[in-house]
Structure 1
Amino acid sequence: MRQNISPDQYRQLFLNDTPLMDVRAPVEFAKGAFPAATNLPLLDDRQRELIGTRYKHAGQEAAIELGWELATDEVRQQRISAWREFTEQHPEGCLYCFRGGLRSRTTQQLMRQAGIDYPLVEGGYKALRNFLLGALDEGCERLPLVVIAGHTGSGKTELIQRATRAIDLEGIARHRGSSFGRTGRPQPAQIDFENRIAVDMIKLEQASGRVFVEDESRLIGRCALPPNLQQAMQAAPRVVVEEPVEARARRIVRDYVNEALPRFEDGECSPAEALGESLRDSLSRLQKRLGGLRHRQLDEQLQAANAELARNGSADAYIPVVMALLTEYYDGMYDYLMAKRESAVLFRGSLDEVGEWVQQQSGN
């Protein structure tokens, strides 16, 4: 019989990406879980609500009694079938509930009755979450962070993705970090975002060397940087990418238009039309900061670029619009924020020069 997972084994769970069977209700899982977790609940949301109400009014024994009443033969077989499939696919995994208590033990009991031996995590989700919060604190203090800075469109994300040791915050958040930054994928819950960062930090601590992160504001879409990470990034030394405005605009058009088109293929209208409306919606979010007149002018240019894309597939007409947004809005905002930073600049140069420098620093 495999032993249950004790607190001193938590780190290895995350280092090994151990498959985790989360038996909490779906509503709990949606609020936050772990990168390697799969939700196979003991109770569905309605059952959890009913049992919680019974517990509140009549106590634990009455709640347990109701739980067994709700666990009909059909329900048990459905649960056990799903659990068996998971354990056969992931024999090295383990299960957890919120505190490692009644639901974990009940699940483990039902599985053992069905001939399945599977360990539970002592302390459950709550203890694992607290462990990761501690790991996040430690990582922010101990990891030698270096921030890759530079104006919008400089290629910072490309450098992060190429770096040997890096935390891809935008990749974890599934958002590019600007008003136009939606990727077509749903963003993770805030807790999921924090947990993934913490797991990445745990893995990065297994070796020495600088860890690169992209310069970000407090919010990446709806995901907020943990305050301790934001403070660590503000104090960390920087490497600055300096690229001409037209090169930055062309890179943005490549990323936000050419490479974005395929994700709009399943809509009711054409991909070009759907993408165009999405871009106009993103531009509308800047209306107050641009001013009504300038917003209308840029929106007209954007509509003309959308029409050009739909007509002949060319995205070149977007370049002047993007250049205007960079010079009139994004660059000034970024320069203002950078002027408030007091951290050292280790290196500055073009995208290629910074890329070479980053590669040289990997492992140092």
Structure 2
Amino acid sequence: MSANNSADYQQIFLHDIPLIDVRAPVEFAQGAFTGATNLPLMTNEERHAVGICYKQHGQKAAIELGEQLVSGDVREQRIAQWRTFCQQNPQGYIYCLRGGLRSHITQRWLKESGVDYPLVKGGYKAMRNFLIKVNQQVATMPLKVIGGNTGSGKTRLVKALPFGIDLEGAARHRGSSFGRTLESQSTQINFENRVAVSLLKKQHQGICRWVVEDEGKTIGSNHVPLEIYESMQTASLVVIEDPFELRLLRLKEEYIDTMSAGFQQQYGEDDGWVRFSHYLHHSLFAIRKRLGMERYQTLLNELDSALHHQQMGQGSDKHENWLVPLLIEYYDPMYSYQLSKKSDRIIFRGDYNAVRDFLLNDNH
């Protein structure tokens, strides 16, 4: 019985179906899917050579060259990797760029070795286009934006709401100069793919309205999908207004306590501490010109003092000595100015719980 090739991209993404990506590593690095493992038919160099041959001598010559380059022990090693994957993931699929030669060759070689394994029709291009359309479609649905000063718990609320789209989570960045996380940001394509898959799963649960955090065009190095960003520019705003002390507590917990523990857990105590210190120094340095050099130097001195106390086991409370003026003198005025330009779109203000209840009970 032959393997059942599939063009049901929705089911593949809804169920996180494991995928063998047989494209070259350079293609995989530019963009792929969360459930994909790169087990290439050809290396970057082999693909490059076959590509030149195809342009100069046509498809038949290119296929012959590919067969020569991937033969003998090299071929057996690659088939063995695919076979292992197939055994571990019997419900998976193979894909290449367009569902063409590479995935069919992989499928044929596997079948000759006794494994009948399906491929994705249309390959990467078709799956990518499917996800682009998901983002475009979602942008036409009812959307509200959660605003509020730094530390208001906007991201926390988006994550807590069943209809929240966590753009920062998909971008692996929290949006400000201090926004990097312990996970590296990925390519723009991978960011857009993660957003689309998240939306697809929520749609499948019957969700047909959305809430996002008030974001700029970019989150770290990733750009918010254009259609979603444009929809955000006309959407109604709800604004969290929490007490300063509560916002400060959240910021210290998220950016100091959690990050320092995370760095040390990931890199070990000594290296983790160095990396955590560098993260805070780099983040403050990134906004030095907007702060002004005199204010930057004052805050830097307070940061260094706080890090020293923390490293000596005296807790993280000293960080408030630079966090408080940074909020009062920089972040709060900046966000207030940005919010003033959107004031005509604000439909509700309240503390975290009031905004949550408003959104949960909102039927518009």
The normalised TM-score by structure 2 is 0.93
Which residue of structure 1 aligns with residue 298 of structure 2?
A: 297
Which residue of structure 2 aligns with residue 348 of structure 1?
A: 349
CA distance in 1, matches of 2:270, 2:203: 48
CA distance in 2, matches of 1:11, 1:197: 14
Q: Name the aligned partner's letter for residue 77 of structure 1.
A: E
Gaps of 5+ in 2: none
Aligned residues: 360
CA distance in 2, matches of 1:116, 1:343: 62
Superposed CA offset, 1:31-51 (max 9, x none): 001122221111111211221
Which residue of structure 1 aligns with residue 92 of structure 2?
A: 93
Which residue of structure 2 aligns with residue 196 of structure 1?
A: 194
Which residue of structure 2 aligns with residue 252 of structure 1?
A: 251
Which residue of structure 2 aligns with residue 80 of structure 1?
A: 79
Give the alignment of 1:209-224 within 5 angstroms.
Answer: 209-224=208-223
CA distance in 1, matches of 2:342, 2:114: 60
Which residue of structure 2 aligns with residue 42 of structure 1?
A: 41
CA distance in 2, matches of 1:313, 1:98: 55
Q: Contact 1:240 / 1:345 at 8 angstroms: preserved in 2? A: yes
CA distance in 1, matches of 2:358, 2:74: 59
Which residue of structure 2 aligns with residue 321 of structure 1?
A: 322
Give the alignment of 1:63-142 within 5 angstroms.
Answer: 63-142=62-141
Superposed CA offset, 1:209-229 (max 9, x none): 532211111111111111111
CA distance in 2, matches of 1:344, 1:329: 24
CA distance in 1, matches of 2:342, 2:358: 22
Superposed CA offset, 1:183-231 (max 9, x none): 1211121000011111222222231353221111111111111111111
Which residue of structure 2 aligns with residue 312 of structure 1?
A: 313
Which residue of structure 2 aligns with residue 21 of structure 1?
A: 20
Which residue of structure 2 aligns with residue 159 of structure 1?
A: 157
**For the structure 1 residues 88 and 56, does the alpha-carbon distance in structure 2 shift closer, same or farther, using more than 3 Å as the test?**
same
Q: Name the aligned partner's letter for residue 152 of structure 2.
A: S
Q: Name the aligned partner's letter for residue 49 of structure 1.
A: H
**For the structure 1 residues 152 and 122, does the alpha-carbon distance in structure 2 shift closer, same or farther, using more than 3 Å as the test?**
same
**CA offset at residue 153 of structure 1?**
0.8
**For the structure 1 residues 145 and 309, does the alpha-carbon distance in structure 2 shift closer, same or farther, using more than 3 Å as the test?**
same
CA distance in 2, matches of 1:287, 1:267: 30
CA distance in 1, matches of 2:282, 2:268: 16
Gaps of 5+ in 1: none
Secondary structure of the residue that 1:83 maps to in structure 2?
helix
CA distance in 1, matches of 2:100, 2:325: 58
CA distance in 1, matches of 2:343, 2:354: 23
**CA offset at residue 232 of structure 1?**
1.0
**For the structure 1 residues 290 and 46, does the alpha-carbon distance in structure 2 shift closer, same or farther, using more than 3 Å as the test?**
same
Which residue of structure 2 aligns with residue 281 of structure 1?
A: 282
Which residue of structure 2 aligns with residue 169 of structure 1?
A: 167
CA distance in 1, matches of 2:340, 2:192: 28
Secondary structure of the residue that 1:317 maps to in structure 2?
helix
Secondary structure of the residue that 1:235 maps to in structure 2?
coil
**CA offset at residue 54 of structure 1?**
2.0
Which residue of structure 1 aligns with residue 181 of structure 2?
A: 183
**CA offset at residue 326 of structure 1?**
1.3
Q: Name the aligned partner's letter for residue 36 of structure 2.
A: A
Secondary structure of the residue that 2:147 maps to in structure 1?
strand
Query: Which segment drifts farther, 344-353 or 185-194?
Result: 344-353
**CA offset at residue 56 of structure 1?**
2.6
Query: Which segment drifts farther, 333-342 or 20-29?
Result: 333-342
Secondary structure of the residue that 2:355 maps to in structure 1?
helix
CA distance in 2, matches of 1:188, 1:64: 33
Amino-acid identity (%):
45
**CA offset at residue 343 of structure 1?**
5.9
CA distance in 2, matches of 1:355, 1:15: 27
**CA offset at residue 339 of structure 1?**
2.0
CA distance in 2, matches of 1:163, 1:110: 47
Q: Name the aligned partner's letter for residue 259 of structure 2.
A: A
Q: Contact 2:309 / 2:316 at 8 angstroms: preserved in 1? A: yes
Q: Contact 1:18 / 1:93 at 8 angstroms: preserved in 2? A: yes
Secondary structure of the residue that 2:151 maps to in structure 1?
coil
Secondary structure of the residue that 1:205 maps to in structure 2?
helix
CA distance in 1, matches of 2:342, 2:3: 52
The normalised TM-score by structure 1 is 0.93
Q: Contact 2:18 / 2:35 at 8 angstroms: preserved in 1? A: yes
Q: Name the aligned partner's letter for residue 253 of structure 1.
A: K
CA distance in 1, matches of 2:277, 2:286: 15
Secondary structure of the residue that 1:141 maps to in structure 2?
coil
Q: Contact 2:167 / 2:212 at 8 angstroms: preserved in 1? A: yes
Secondary structure of the residue that 1:165 maps to in structure 2?
coil
